[in-house]
Amino acid sequence: MVKRAVASSSFVTSPPDNSAWWSLPGSDVLAHFEAESTNGLTPEEALRRVAQYGPNSLPEEQEPGVWSSLFAAFKDPLALILTLAAVLSAGIGLALSFDTWRTLRREQGLSDRQAVELMLRLAGDEARRAT
């Protein structure tokens, strides 16, 4: 997940003459921030700046919930089409299975259990033949 930073408006983000920081000599940057090249900031100055500007950290973003993630997934038309196709396929499969079960009961005189066992046996035979 990509985290976005929120820039603090109280902190100076560009040098006074609006040139890029990376193009300035290091001594100018250190002088602007009143830091030393060997030791950086003193502990007292660091604490003062933390009190003035806040901690040097990015705010944590809340992760989206399950429902918002699910809703976002269906914004993609392809995902919607594939889901509808899967639901339609499952519905047709259930209808055909029910029709087969009903036919076995009515025409063959099988009980519910015998019809289901026969359908499962036939499905297993079909699966073995396919492999």
Q: What percent of the chain has pLDDT over 70?
A: 85
pLDDT (tens digit, 9 = 90+) per residue, 105-126? 888 888 888 888 888 888 787 7
Residue 30, token pair as written in the block = 């250190």
What's the average model confidence in pLDDT over 64-74? 87
Helix runs in 1-131, H state only: 26-32, 43-53, 66-73, 77-108, 112-130
Q: Dihedrals φ, ψ of 51, to 5°?
A: -65, -35
